[in-house]
């Protein structure tokens, strides 16, 4: 029974938890050339005020540069840049 529960909940918990090392990789590959690696370089007029806005920007930039990112990529990268640079509350 324990094993069954584990198998049932595994995919769900994998999806729910953002992967910070994937986010770091993705950011380094596709975003750092404009926004910087040591610190985050803001390029627009407006700083995101919360996670929703930050996610929206990650989505916008990744679409604008035709990166073909899925929701998980966006979530991982948002999580990474928030932990490293923005430190916004959820
Ligand atoms: C070719 C350069 C370039 C690349 C690559 C790029 N961005 Fe941007 N990004 C910009 C510019 C320019 C703005 C400001 C746009 C505006 O304010 O209208 C911006 C805005 C943003 C913002 C809003 C806050 C701010 O800094 O103004 C975030 C967050 C962001 N980008 C994240 C990302 C992420 C994540 C990636 C990787 C998928 C990425 N960007 C890739 C140029 C880039």
pLDDT beyond 70 at 82:
yes
Relative to the CA of 86, which ligand 1 atom is closest?
29
pLDDT beyond 80 at 88:
yes
Which protein residues touch ligand 1 with a CB less than 6 Å away? 30-31, 33-35, 42-45, 48, 54, 57-58, 61-62, 65, 67, 77
pLDDT tens sequence across 18-53: 999 999 999 999 999 999 988 888 888 888 999 999
Nearest alpha carbon to residue 72 among 4, 31, 20, 9: 20
User: Rounded to 5 degrees, what are φ and ψ at 66?
Assistant: 50, 45
Mean pLDDT of 67-71: 96
Q: Give the C-alpha separation, 18 to 22, whole Å.
A: 9
Contacts 24+ apart (CB under 8 A), 36-45: 39/85, 40/81, 40/84, 40/85, 40/86
What is the average pLDDT score of the chain?
A: 87
pLDDT band at 14 (very low <50, low <70, confident <90, very high): low
Position 68 scores a pLDDT of: 94
Identify whether the C-beta of residue 20 lies closer than 8 Å to the C-beta of residue 83. yes
């Amino acid at each position: 029974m324990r094993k069954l529960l584990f198998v049932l909940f595994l995919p769900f918990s994998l999806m729910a938890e953002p992967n910070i090392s994937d986010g770091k990789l993705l950011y380094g590959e596709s975003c750092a050339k404009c926004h910087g690696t040591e610190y985050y370089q803001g390029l627009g007029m407006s700083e995101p005020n919360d996670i929703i806005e930050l996610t929206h920007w990650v989505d916008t930039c990744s679409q604008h540069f035709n990166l073909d990112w899925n929701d998980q990529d966006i979530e991982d990268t948002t999580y990474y840049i928030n932990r490293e640079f923005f430190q916004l509350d959820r």
